[in-house]
Structure 1
Amino acid sequence: MAISDRLSEWGGLPTFDFPQLEEELPESLPADDAVAWRISVEEYYDAEAGRWAATFARFAEAVDLSRVRSLVVGVWPEVNDEGPTEVVEALVAAADRLPALRALFLGDMTYEESEISWIQNGDVTPLLKTFPRLEEFGVRGGSGLVFPPQSHETLRRLVIETGGLSKEVVRGVGDCDFPALEELDIWLGVSWYGADTQVSDLEPFLTGVRLPAIRRLALRNSEIQDEVAAAFASAPVVARLTELDLSMGTLGDEGATALLEGQPLTHLAKLNLHHHFISGPVAGHLRETLGKRGVEVDLTGSHESANGSANARRFVAVSE
């Protein structure tokens, strides 16, 4: 699976592509606070430095920044070679003009614009420091991503989508203090693209000590999904969750059985195991044990082979 569609919404608002520099502005635009404004350059490979900042400056002239609630950053110049420094600096410089901003996503690109593991990233945490009232923050692309420990009082949702995430980033996020965070979604990825996380690096998420408000926890798109599932079988944080998401990875019978034999999961509203390598009998046991107790168990995307056994060649949903 590749990312073939741009975000349709962010921060609870539908996305709207602000015209690029090459395009004329329409006679009318949506209300300033009615959409998640997507700002992007047209061509990643030959866009000149400064073009994203110039597009943002044009945006600032066309709308009332003080009313903008949600921003989505698409392609920035030389995205496969350069990190989003231009974007971060432009947004930080405009922070006092964006008092209503509550949702920000960095790197909304389809595979045609840039494969997820080709996106060059950087230190994105200045955006969290600069916008202390941000409630939703997302970033796509793990190459070069830096995320030192932060404290943020209002962040409710954090999404990190990668085809390969370093353990330094995982540890950095794990050491953050996010007292209001209700949803954490991390795509761990594969070693070919830099994923080197071990289960021991996930300990802060498993205990949930720094995440007192967490309700949905997703550690997914991983080639160590069986080990992650086994760790959740006894993780203290599970008792506080309404949704556990272990989808998009290489989960097989070993991890699924560990979940079944571990602590009770019947309090969950949803257990998401989409894109898996679980055999038919174990999948049936999951449905019997949890589905009939009111838990929504997502077992779509099965890679069970024609002879009824799980495919021996396992792969994550999104890597390149």
Structure 2
Amino acid sequence: MSDERFADVGRGIQLCYVEHGDPAGAPLVLIMGLGQQLVAWPEGFVEMLVQRGYRVVTFDNRDAGRSTHAGYRPPSLAQILTGRIPADAYHLGDLARDTTGLLDALELPSAHLAGVSMGGMIAQTVAAHFPSRVRTLTSIMSTTGARFVGRPRLSTWRLMGGAPPRTRDEAMDRAVRIFRHIGSRGFPFDEPGVRARAAAAWDRDPSAAGVGRQLAAIFASGDRTRELRQIRVPTLVVHGDRDPMVHPSGGRVTQRAIAGARLVVIPGLGHDCPAGVWPTLADLIAGHAREEAGDVAA
């Protein structure tokens, strides 16, 4: 992408980011989930947020896309699930500090944060430890790390444990298989869009090693319920009722852990962002930001 830029966020980490919309708009930072890149945000959805008056920032988390990748060997799924995580592995707190480092680089004292899945966990962690940097928090299809809630189906684990793609075509085919499985049952499946975003991601970064390291970061952070109870920023929790990746119980426990949080369950939504949900989700994020922070949308 021609408008991609890089920010030094400290501790030897550079993040690749893109800004969308009017620089004078209220800043809204979108944080992507496990193994996903900034190109995973559908352009039409981002444009809806821009139209609502926001300066939208998307970025690659470390170990994804064109941001800094760690050098250590990723643990296997079996090692992660049995707690055998390398001592030098990073955790969600490191990813949260990457996010605040990006705010520093962009000279943003604070911003609205909206994160999906692992991105929701990162946004939660920023709100817990750096509350002055967060105007509002929107946690989407995410969870607290508590055991026995918000966990993937066994069939989802089997898909995640499959061999990584070796070619661009394999990457597109794998993305279609995964998103047909974890995607929304109540909205049309956009196979061309899934293929296009998977192809763009492959062209930017074909490595799959970062997925294992990011997943280890989630498990290394453990149950964060007590941490989430510290959050005092205005919080909206959004979840689908048909999510095979993060069971809807994850949204419920997140809402219960954060004082004053509001939970919205979207019927038919799985673990994706289909075009049919874009207006609803954009209205929820922008409406929450306006109501709690007094933003004036265009």
TM-score computed with the length of structure 1 as normaliser: 0.31
- Determine which structure has the larger helix proportion and give its number: 2
Rg larger in 1 or in 2?
A: 1
- Structure ranking higher on relative contact order (CA contacts 8 Å, 6+ apart): 2
TM-score computed with the length of structure 2 as normaliser: 0.33
